[in-house]
Amino acid sequence: MYKAYIILAHKYPDQLLRLVSRLNDGASHFFIHIDKKAHITQFAQVFALTDIVDFISREDSKWAGFDIVQATLNGMKAVKESHKKFDRIILLSGQDYPIKSNRDIDQFFRSSPHSVFLDYFPIPNYKKWPGGDRGGWYRVDKYYIGLKSYQLFCSKSINLLATFFPFLRRKMPGDMKPYTGSQWWCMDMYALGYILDYTKAHPEYVSFHKHTFAPDELFFHMILVNSKDENLISSIENNNKRFMTWEVSDSAHPNTICATDFEAIAASDHLFARKFDATVDNEIMDLIDARILQDKQVHHSKDVLFSNE
């Protein structure tokens, strides 16, 4: 099983190195995006892994902004332009970690009747976004420009004007139905190619999401789930295979995973978990290594990168 990992990172170079080392099974390649705001020199050890790592064009990935989508697209284009025939492409953050061994991950992908794993649900969802949130319609029918004070003012102003001037109202591109869900996914080369072809053929779709709030949670979902390609649709499982916990269902970020979450992780059938922060809890990843992955300790150096799977 030949895998490509697209990893979006902005801090914690030691965690990123540990993640790459753990996933490096001799049949994986890593396409890594380092946020423009990060000091690139701190990732020097990862840069040294030239045989298994490619670094992709950097974006200033502000939370809830389009640059996160662009960084992901940069990674997807790099995968396609590598001309390597990957069986699966997995999108991760630098604070993710596997909770199944490389062997088990391969076995899952080989045996599953699906080849695309994506968490999605339609808008509106009044249970998740009640009251003034209108079931989440604001995610697609309101302009979002940014979080700075002047950007918020501009967003509110144009949204107000749009209530009086119909030509300013946002229109769903291509009469698509809105879907949203978790940013993280796994897919095959067919789905990756479909998305890249769609964005090239429909620049208006890309432009629409440049003014969408948190487009990373809609952009890929809407393309895939609105597809009329029956082979593609039948390949999708509504499950991104990520273990996450949340304070409340509409929290902006998942909880940081700690050692107290270990039993739930061990019982999970997911492949990956997020998010980890070694400055908060350094024990949990060691527990996963020793008691779930059951490998010898992975040494974080260029000379010793392979686990004993």
Instruction: Indicate the helix (H) or strand (E) that contains 67.
Output: helix 67-81
- Report helix, strand and coil shares of the chain as percent, to nearest 5: 40, 15, 45
- The confidence score (pLDDT) of residue 205 equals 98
pLDDT above 90 (res 87): yes
Q: For 226-243, what is each residue's pLDDT tens digit?
A: 999 999 999 999 999 999
Q: Judge whether residue 198 has pLDDT over 50.
A: yes
SS3 64: coil
Please tell me the least confidently modeled range out of 55-64, 197-206, 288-297: 288-297
Question: In whole angstroms, what is the distance from residue 48 CA to residue 300 CA?
Answer: 12
Average pLDDT over residues 268-277: 97
Return the percentage of the chain with pLDDT > 70, whole number: 94
Average pLDDT over residues 7-16: 97
pLDDT score, position 250: 65
* Cα 219 from Cα 178, distance rounded (Å): 9
Angle of the 189-201 helix axis to the 67-81 helix axis, nearest 10: 120
Q: Model confidence over 131-165: pLDDT tens digits?
A: 999 999 999 999 999 999 999 999 999 999 999 99
When pLDDT is averaged across residues 241-267 and rounded to a whole number, the result is 90
pLDDT of 306 strictly over 50: no
- Mean pLDDT over the full length of the chain: 93
Least confident stretch, 239-243, 253-257, 258-262: 253-257
pTM: 0.92
Cα angle value 5/6/12 (rounded, 5°): 100
Average of pLDDT values for 264-270? 97
Confidence at residue 284, expressed as pLDDT on a 0 to 100 scale: 97
pLDDT at 295: 53
Q: What percent of the chain has pLDDT over 90?
A: 91
- May I ask the CATH architecture of the domain 3-123+175-293? Alpha-Beta Complex (3.90)
Q: Where in the chain are the domains?
A: 3-123+175-293
pLDDT at residue 59 in the model: 97
- Nearest residue to 23 (alpha-carbon basis) of 226, 221, 289, 253: 289
- pLDDT at position 249 is 64
Instruction: Report the DSSP pairing between strands 3-9 and 28-34.
Output: parallel
Q: How confident is the model at residue 294 (pLDDT cuts 50, 70, 90)?
A: confident
